Structure 1
């Protein structure tokens, strides 16, 4: 009998015992193609010796030093590497242990920034519906997925949520993508004015929405207009790249493709590629200087921030992504994956939308293509696809509630950057079979 508290008490998952490249192996010898990198984590695949050797070498030198007393060489090196490639004026790195910690730190930093600046009335956060920013109370408050929020409602912070930029569902007939992008972004200005600009501290969004909406990219010009609105009203822009960053969409930082830079940026998942738990919050020199020139103390922290072994792993992962040309490979393999998805599902009567960037792709399922009507949630389509795919030896990331937290189903794909053409074929073949089983 296991004493592990599992994610779901009604099922007993297989025991993972090994990993090689794009595959995981369980204790029965069954192999699984990791078509979603777990949860868009395993960007380098499994068993990367350069990363594991870096971890071993760091353990031989230093395992832990508390940042209340000391910094460490790998933490400094990782921060330098990230800032050397970061967009805009991002200049400082706050290392944490995962995505929820990164977004939580971002929210608290935004608040303290305004307090240090002498504007303590700025305490309102605006985010988007159908977003996901993590599971801690602050991060969950910022997230806009009603299913994930519902039972914790009494505990959550008062955060405003505007509509997502969701071309497939919200662009009007005859409206250009650019016009829709402008209209969707202008919802932020309307909400700022409704709340009172002097009360708003930040706007938080995922450049490409991950788990909750299925690799949902913005319309053209959307984030440029968002940046313009934030600048007009002095609102900080927080971009959550926990899932879509670190090369996943075809640039090291996802926001580069939209020609914007945030004031605060969050990364995790692909930063450690699963080899160590690590995340990071990056901020501009302006924000850092406000703290440094004021109290000097960011009133936040966790025991394991800046962990030397995790930082060494992160440095090895980012170096591998950059030095091996994997960002360019993501573009090439991502285009191949999309072509295969279009070929297999482009005319499928129950596939409404194929979307995403790079090796971050989403498939939205519908009951009727013409009306875009979703399946009845009681059918549990996403869950059935996950189960059928897993039985066939494919790990993918189906989710329900795509439209409003209750209705809609999608599948998220985020395979390792090293995926080969034959494995792309295997992924699409096994996913197609799983969808047939789920709809049958």
Structure 2
């Protein structure tokens, strides 16, 4: 105990947990991070679904160095840069022009904040302005970021609770598209989608359809639910409800986009084009802090015909080094055809997870897309009853994976069922992952789970 207190006193960093000083990372290569004690750690989650190219990519590192040799920073109110223009052109072209502008910031939360403000401003810029539109509709138990605006549209109780008095009250929430938890036995996808569309429609009516700016949702729900994809037809139905009432559709692809699910943009698989799309994490692969929003051309045209000024800006907006990192990451994904590897290795990861854990008595569901997979744990497989939150199962699994005998990242999250109850872990290895590494990941995850459950007397 005295040693732990001594270690805390030696650190001037406010760590995520003030009672826990993490081991120091001193290097990285490919899917591995090297720790100060000599441990070779398998980064099977890419941090939080960030390190899409793995660690130590020389091409990206060189691009960053080259940009720093040219210019590291200039304020976007005064200057632009070639690297920002090139990144924007690459991403706009990747949507075949359907999204026609890119706005670059530094974090996912910042991107969501920008998306919310742009949605509001869009209605003020219309030839017949609609200033009464000041509300948003989101889903439970969604997570869209930690800043106050992003947290307000999120619906994750554990994350919201301490700050509830500070949050705006202009967001309401509807049910997620979670087939494992909410789809009725024998219910066809079309009927389930119709039920969810009717719920969204009713929420528009309840709050006043003329007051809603946008509906915001993740194509594949990440941290809040554990890689839950929508059933076929869901997003076109939600988009139709939004269009019925003149509201926008914001698709939050911070975690699930930029190739993570097997296509560069997750919405490509959903047969729908968003009005505003947030991107991050895999955009720069962790080589620099970078995120952004891609904006549908219909929004851009309204802004152009209006003031032409987006009433939002940040000091590090369009940061040249961040843009250089993102551009190099995206070019590498294209040149090495890594999306094909995401699809192939994603199918192999699914196969191995189902083979090893599909019949496990405490594994309720295995779901995901591409290299974005979640495992939900249940106390009773028949009733789908979750473990008591006091068990802290997902935390114990994550912590045990960090131990030297496993040296494996398992991204654990509580609140899977209702924002408080339920546990899952995420797996999101680099796009460069091999079959051999996937075998190590699945084997390690199964062994960690077995040990934790054994210690809990299960």
TM superposition score normalised by structure 2: 0.95
* 1:161 maps onto 2:170 in alignment: no
Distance 1:277 1:376 in 2: 36
Distance 2:392 2:133 in 1: 42
* 1:111 maps onto 2:120 in alignment: yes
Counterpart of 1:412 (choices 420, 426, 429) is 426
Counterpart of 1:291 (choices 303, 307, 328) is 303
Distance 1:88 1:59 in 2: 30
Distance 1:185 1:314 in 2: 36
Counterpart of 2:102 (choices 93, 103, 108) is 93
Structure 1 partner of 2:252 = 240
Alignment partner of 1:290: what SS? helix
* 1:341 maps onto 2:341 in alignment: no
Structure 2 partner of 1:421 = 435
Distance 1:177 1:372 in 2: 20
Matches within 5 A, 1:29-428: 29-86=38-95, 89-117=98-126, 118-158=129-169, 159-391=171-403, 392-428=406-442
Distance 1:367 1:340 in 2: 22
User: How many residues in Structure 1 have an aligned counterpart in Structure 2?
Assistant: 440
Please give the per-residue CA displacement for 1:214-261, whole angstroms capped at 9, x wherever unaligned.
000001110010111111111100000000001000000001111111
Q: Is the Cα–Cα contact under 8 Å of residues 92 and 98 in structure 2 kept in the other structure?
A: no
Alignment partner of 1:394: what SS? coil
Q: Is the Cα–Cα contact under 8 Å of residues 243 and 270 in structure 1 kept in the other structure?
A: yes
Distance 1:182 1:12 in 2: 49
Q: Is the Cα–Cα contact under 8 Å of residues 38 and 396 in structure 1 kept in the other structure?
A: no
Please give the per-residue CA displacement for 1:156-176, whole angstroms capped at 9, x wherever unaligned.
112111011110010011201
Please give the per-residue CA displacement for 1:12-65, whole angstroms capped at 9, x wherever unaligned.
100000001000011111011111100000000001111001001111111111
Alignment partner of 1:4: what SS? coil
Please give the per-residue CA displacement for 1:176-212, whole angstroms capped at 9, x wherever unaligned.
1232123223321111111111111100000000011
Q: Is the Cα–Cα contact under 8 Å of residues 182 and 221 in structure 1 kept in the other structure?
A: no
Which aligned segments of 4 or more residues in structure 1 are displaced greater than 4 angstroms? none
Counterpart of 1:6 (choices 1, 9, 15) is 15
Distance 2:117 2:79 in 1: 23
Change (3 A) 1:87 1:179: farther
Change (3 A) 1:355 1:129: same
Distance 1:185 1:209 in 2: 18
